[in-house]
Amino acid sequence: MAFASSNLKLTQVQAVVRVSGTGGDSGTIDLDVDLLKASETASTPAVNISGVHWYCDKNASVTITRNGVDILHLHGSDHTDWYGFAENTENDQDINISISNGDAVLILELAKVDGYGPTAHQGADGNLGAN
């Protein structure tokens, strides 16, 4: 299986991204490109990681880095949710993912906290409302 990513949910304030691959695969979630809705622009975006779900083969592991800084190292299968806070280390940098020693699937819940426009109010359903 080659490295692949796809958006499961994409609103002005949130993204849920599914990433999969096998040992030796790596890829990047580009904040300026991969997390844009058709109606959005990006200007120095900032994105926090608000939750992670991962499923790794017996010997597989996943490493998430941003700007060369290790953010998370995952193995096995589990999830984490930060209630009331988020992982914001290097949050203005792209998200780099490396998979080692087997197949892995990763689902990232991302909070788009700054740098995405237009700035119109958005409802919980993801639709832009009136200012």
In a domain, 105, yes or no: yes
Average pLDDT over residues 6-10: 96
**pLDDT of the residue at 121:** 47
- The domain tally of the chain equals 1
Q: Is residue 126 assigned to a domain? A: no
Could you tell me the two tokens for 63?
């490493």
Q: Which domain range does residue 44 map to?
A: 4-117
Alpha-carbon distance 113 to 70, whole Å? Answer: 21
Q: Which of 82, 80, 75 is CA-nearest to residue 111?
A: 82
Q: How far, CA to CA in Å, does 84 sit from each of 23, 118, 128?
A: 34, 25, 24
Q: Is residue 25 part of a domain?
A: yes
- Token representation of residue 106: 């990763």
Interatomic CA distance for residues 24 and 11, integer angstroms = 31
**pLDDT classification of 18: cutoffs 50, 70, 90:** very high
25 contacts 3 by C-beta, under 8 angstroms:
yes
Whole-model pTM over 0.75: yes
